[in-house]
Structure 1
Amino acid sequence: MAAESSAAKLPCAVRVLFERDGVLARPGARDREDAEEDFLVCGSLRIVQKDADISVEFTPLEDSTDILCAAEDSSSVMEWVRRGGGGRRPAERDPVRAADEGAPRRGFSAGLTQLAAVTVRRDRWRDAPALLFALKSATSLPPLLLQQGGAEELLDCLRRVATLSQCALDASRLLIGPADKLLGDSFENLPGDQDDRNHFEPKFREDPGASAADRASKVSDGFFDAFRGGERPRRHPPEEVAHVLAEPVPALEINQQEEPGFEVVTRVGLGSRPQVQRGAPVSAPVWSAHQDRDGRLLRVAGLKESIFRGGLCHAVRKEAWKFLLGYFPWGSTLEQRKSLQRSKTDDYFRMKLQWKSVSEEQEKRNWRLREYRSLIEKDVERTDRSNPFYRGADNPGLVLLHDVLMTYCMYDFDLGYVQGMSDLLSPLVFVLESEADAFWCFVSFMEQLHRNFEEQMLGMKAQLIQLGSLLRLLDPSFLNYLESQDSGYLYFCFRWLLIRFKREFAFHDVLRLWEVMWTGLPCRNFHLLLCCAILDSEKSKIMEEKFGFSEILKHVNQLSMKLDVEEILQMAESIWLQIKKSQGCPRSALDILARDSCHRASAGPRPDRDGRSAGATDSGCPGPLAFTSQPGALLF
């Protein structure tokens, strides 16, 4: 039975998120796999949202009104007799004895907040997926057999409303946690000032030059409330936010030594930082000198080194960015590139036609397309409007932004549009001045950052962990100070990582910064060293003036448009050389930065439709992580 048809029979406040008929419950075996066939009860399994509450419900076919419900304190199971009938009061029962008394032949319901874990295995009796939900009270609901399949669909549904993380001791057991309040929303939706909008608008969008002091304090309070539900105690228990980083992240390795889950770290003497010099931008004559008469680029390694050292002059960017982003192969000839460009342009306009040809009647029945269009229209109207290229009403640059983003929704409908993407596209449209070229370069850029924008935001989590690891190595006293001020999770760096410093530097400085990062030099995850360089330049002020949680967030936000890109690049490279030449550097740091230690990245690239790697990335594999028993402390 389809979920939609069931929803129509329920009150308007009830929404069926998942439903599967023909599910067998085994009331005689809570967590045993040897339950006898005689005790199977057939019914339907649903995940239901009732207003703000979400629950997992099993309803037997023979008696859909009798139901067992997990109590609010998760310490017992309540038996409801003829719920909705004669107004009988619930009686508290022992959940272990319930099976022997025959009550489990009725249904059961457990609120999402009362579930601790779900185990998924293949049942050896019926060769079907078997589910076992464990409650936080250390008891379990009856095992369920999904005769018609649907285990993956159920888990996907749970992932949309909760956080699922794999148990370290049992790969088939998934721990159920609350949905991430901070990382689940884009930075655009974080609580903030409300000057002229009816919804929350983040402080991150504010003009850094406009009376930031008062409004930033409001943002910090709202930012804090995103974790603490509006109440700010003097000390903030780390478990309130620790689950965000405690969840296992694919490719995030746990180093096990003497004690599982911990890495023994000794103080590393890094020595002094070498002095480095930046160079001049690669000019048009220098770029042309690296091409043969067929247009094939020569001495690519040296060319990339020159771009890393000084960037590109603006006249070269329009062509060079297509190579740096992987749109053009480095070894291609001019004719090959022209042929590729024609083919890609045709592909782009075919995809664009898909959404352009949707009628109003069709769009009325496609809520997701309407949602994407609404978000894009709102964001485009406020993206880089101070830049002359996008200034003024009816600006053609805004039309390009809108059309490319709408077409990207057709290209990657699973991801669609997420706030922040317009910031990434804007410089590409500005430089390339071609709708199709900007689209395909944006596709390549998004392959690097795709996991930053996915619902689980695994890329963001992994990078915040990596950044903490590097800070622990470079300046443990500074990280200890941040932890003492409830800022050790480094969420104030969230925007930096999400949109690659787009709002931290002046527009033309962002162009220089991005092309330097796209070279992949001098190491993987160079953007994390850029974060370290910014924090290193501000740590004295933060510590000397004893900034607290709100002041740190406010200060970091006020750095926007005040940073010197050349100084930060210089310092970041110096930090890399310092780490590179140090003796006894922890493996965690080397795993994060070493270019040849791992080919998969924390924030990209994801496999393509055929399962192949979609391309290189500038974000690397997470290093080992362990949480200490001390509140808020991390060992790397």
Structure 2
Amino acid sequence: TVFEVSGVFIHTAKAESEDVLLAGKVQLVLQGKDCYVLWNPLHHGNAVEQPDPDWTVVNTRSDQATNGNAEEEGSANQAGQCRSKNSLSIDLAAVRSIRMSTPNLGWAYLVFRMTDDEDMPPLHFHEGGSRELISMIRKYITITTDRDLLNVHPKNTDALSTSFSELQILSETSGNYVSKFFKDPVTATMGGFSRVTSFVRDNILPSSNMLNRPTEDYSQIFPDITTFKVEQDFDLIATTENKLADRPEVTRSSPLTEAEWHAFLDGEGRVLNVPDLKEKIFRGGIEPSIRKDLWPFLLCYYSWNSTTKERIDSRKHKEDEYFGMKAQWKTITTEQERRFSIFKERKNLIDKDVIRTDRMHPFFAGEKNVHLDQLFSILMTYTQLNFDLGYVQGMSDILSPILLVMEDEVDAFWCFVGYMDNLKLEQNFDMKQEGMKNQLIQLNKLVQVIEPELYGFLQSKESSNMFFCFRWLLIHFKREFTFEDIMRLWEVMWTGLPCQNFHLLLCLAILDGQKRTMTEQDLDFNDILKYVNELSLKLNVEEILRNGESIFLQLKNTPEIPAVLWEIVCQSGEEESSQASESSIEVIADLE
């Protein structure tokens, strides 16, 4: 028994007009790796208050084998003794959710809903202790919060626990901060791949098993995903009949200069020959002095065919729109905020993130920094524009370089909106997490065919799930490069060249540069995670861009390229129909 509280009543009716209170106590009991909530009636001498005869003991695991050691058997006996006909036993592994009572409305109570959608009798805590019980339960199962509903998630998360604790996603030092990474004030109820983010978002608990390689089947983490299970269930094998073409050497050029930029503008300020301009930016990036002029076009804030006058008029309209949305949250009173829990939670989360976003950079350093206030205002206003998504940690990382370049709150806001909405970065933060799931699946497929030896190595180390690339994909390499380098990388990616999913090829480019070290040192699961994390700020952006383009050209020059690869890389690319062939890839799995 790890927790106990008395004064817990079960309310039942013996007759239509008679309400009966059954006094008892609640215990949290461990049985081996299982955890149970037990309610037992209080004894008065030799008499025991009898519960409603329709109640039955809940023991969802009584049919499982009990071949554990003597200690486990002892625990089982202890729990079993409590499971008399007068007791209530709830196996937390079979709980779907826990509903809590509304605060300040009578006695606190908890209702456990099982995975078969059966509700257990409410437990009323007349002497308090419900919140303490929930806090203790959180130590043994993963719980996410959605107002007064607590959603329970599977416990078999050793692999993910290791992945995210080692990668320190969006956290320099604190594992506790990692545990709150994906906290979404709108709702914590997710399905499928969201169990990854639900796990990260709440209660990553340090344990002796956290730094061990996973021993459980990954499919237990992804029970709702039929297209990405474990390697034994889903695999892509490139046939040797058609080898990939050689990777060509790629050279990069100098950044776009101010004079070159002006040469692309007509007399009224329209941008001429946009494809050539994008090609120039892709090939060398943009000189820092003119990024402020170019980024609004790349981020869909300005239209390429707009005149200078039209852009000035549009900006006035966008400025009014921005400050109108900003006024919506600025005018919420303290009294309103007290009754507006979602708003308050988002505001607190943004405030906490802003004060630790890129504080080592001079632009954001120091106390009472006006740029921190601008970060806060932009992110708060974005929650007014996108109510459904709200704010998710990681967004401040995306915004900070944009604000640094634009140096204006309004312009930075609309450029941020363009990145999130028009360039579809929003999919990385969506609460269903379909975007992140698909990208991990796509990267898995690409590695299998383009880097089969590396894939075999990762598979042998139980790392072919590509979780160690999670941070790269989530915030588009923001933590892997210096400020200047990430600005160069992003503006190249924003051109949409040479293909739709160039960022996936950049992941491959990074892995290509590191595979020799990883394989020669025979890094295991934990070592791979540590090694990838320690690459931060050590990567050469120009080398990565060259290698990424080289991989694209290798695919482009390969006859009868696997259709699935070309669909991943270019999606609805022009050359898809002519380049793709189903014959060169074999899917070994039943995906239905």
Amino acid at match of 1:341: R
Distance in 2 between residues matched to 1:273 and 1:519, nearest whole Å: 22
Distance 1:183 1:341 in 2: 45
Match of 1:114 among 87, 94, 99: 94
Alignment of 1:63-78 (within 5 A): 66-67=54-55, 70-73=58-61, 75=63
SS in 1 for 2:420: helix
Matched, 1:89 2:84: yes
Say if 1:187 and 1:449 are closer, same or farther in 2 by CA, change over 3 A: farther
Residue 307 of structure 2 corresponds to 333
* TM norm structure 2: 0.67
Q: Tell me, yes or no, if the aligned pair for 1:503 and 1:561 is still in contact at 8 Å.
A: yes
* Cα drift, residue 179 of structure 1: 9.8
Please tell me whether the aligned partners of residues 420 and 426 of structure 2 are also in contact (alpha carbons under 8 angstroms): yes
CA deviation vs aligned residue, 1:12-66 (integer Å, no higher than 9, x gap): 999xxxxxxxxxxxxxxxxxxxxxxxxxxxxxxxxxxx999999xxxxxxx9984
Output the CA distance in 2 between the equivalents of 1:282 and 1:293. 20
Contact 1:184 1:457 (8 Å CA) reproduced: no
Residues 197 and 559 (structure 1), Cα distance of their counterparts in 2 relative to 1, 3 Å cut:
closer
List per-residue Cα deviations over 1:574-605 (Å, max 9, x = no partner).
0110111112322221110125259xxxxxxx
Specify which of 529, 537, 544 is matched with residue 568 of structure 1.
544
Q: Give the drift of 1:401.
A: 0.6
Aligned to 1:312: 286
Of residues 499, 508, 527, the one that matches 1:523 is 499
Matches within 5 A, 1:450-529: 450-529=426-505
Whole-Å Cα distance in 1 between the matches of residues 163 and 418 of structure 2?
21
Structure 1 gap segments, 5+ residues each: 1-10, 15-49, 56-62, 77-86, 93-107, 117-132, 143-155, 164-176, 205-221, 255-259, 599-623, 630-634
Counterpart among 308, 325, 329 of residue 351 in structure 1: 325
> In 2, are the aligned partners of 1:189 and 1:200 still within 8 Å (CA)?
no
Matching residue of 2:133: none
1:520: Cα distance to partner?
0.6
Could you tell me which residue of structure 2 aligns to residue 236 of structure 1?
A: 214
SS for the counterpart of 1:161 is strand
Q: Is the 8 A contact 1:245 1:465 kept in 2?
A: no
Q: 1:292 aligns with which of 246, 259, 266?
A: 266
Compared CA separation, residues 390 and 509, structure 1 to 2 (3 A): same
Whether the 8 Å CA contact 1:244–1:461 is kept in 2: the answer is: no
Q: Deviations over 1:388-443 (max 9, x none)?
A: 11111111111111111111122122222111111000011011111111111111
Equivalent position of 1:270 in the other structure: 244
CA drift of 1:248 comes to 3.5
- Distance in structure 2 (CA, Å) of the matches to 1:367 and 1:359: 13
Deviations 1:458-507 (A, max 9, x none): 21111111111111111112111112112111111111111101110110
Q: Distance in 2 between matches of 1:180 and 1:88?
A: 29
Residue 299 of structure 1 deviates from its aligned partner by 0.5
SS at match of 1:323: helix
Which residue does the alignment assign to 1:559? 535
TM-fit CA distance, 1:89? 3.1
Q: Could you tell me the TM-score, scaled by structure 1's length?
A: 0.62
Corresponding letter in the other structure for 1:236 = P
Q: 2:151 aligns with which of 125, 143, 161?
A: 161
- State the alpha-carbon separation in 1 of the partners of residues 498 and 303 from structure 2: 21
Q: Aligned partners of 1:486 and 1:514: how far apart in 2?
A: 31
Partner of residue 301 from structure 1, selected from 271, 275, 280: 275
Seen in structure 2, the aligned counterparts of structure 1 residues 365 and 181 have a Cα distance that, compared at 3 Å, is farther
Question: Can you list the C-alpha shifts for 1:85-133, whole angstroms capped at 9, x where unaligned?
Answer: xx993399xxxxxxxxxxxxxxx998784389xxxxxxxxxxxxxxxx9
Q: How far off its partner does 1:362 sit? A: 1.5
Alpha-carbon deviation of 1:561?
Answer: 0.8
Residues 353/185 of structure 1: CA separation in 2 closer, same or farther (3 Å cut): farther
- Retained in 1: the 8 A contact 2:166–2:530? no
Q: Distance in 2 between matches of 1:325 and 1:538?
A: 32
Contact 1:182–1:227 (CA under 8 A) maintained in structure 2: no
Question: Hey, what does 2:510 align to over in structure 1?
Answer: 534
* Separation of aligned partners in 2, 1:408 and 1:468: 33
Q: What are the ranges of 5 or more consecutive residues in structure 2 without an aligned counterpart? A: 1-5, 10-26, 30-34, 38-50, 65-81, 97-112, 119-145, 182-199, 575-584
1:533·1:571 contact (CA, 8 Å) conserved in 2? yes
Root-mean-square deviation (Å): 4.5
Could you tell me how far apart the structure 2 residues matched to 1:319 and 1:552 are?
A: 41
Q: Deviations over 1:509-567 (max 9, x none)?
A: 11100000001100111001101001110010011011112211111111111111000
Partners in 2 of 1:399 and 1:353 — Cα distance? Answer: 15
Alignment of 1:363-382 (within 5 A): 363-382=337-356
8 A contact 1:325–1:444 mirrored in 2: yes
Give the Cα separation in 1 of the matches to 2:212 and 2:156. 24
Per the alignment, in what secondary structure is the counterpart of residue 389 of structure 1? Answer: helix
Offset of residue 351 of structure 1: 0.8
Residues 418 and 453 in structure 1, CA contact (< 8 A), matched pair in contact too:
yes
Alpha-carbon distance, 1:314 to partner: 1.3
The amino acid of 2:553's aligned partner reads L
- Please give the secondary structure, in 2, of the residue aligned with 1:326: coil
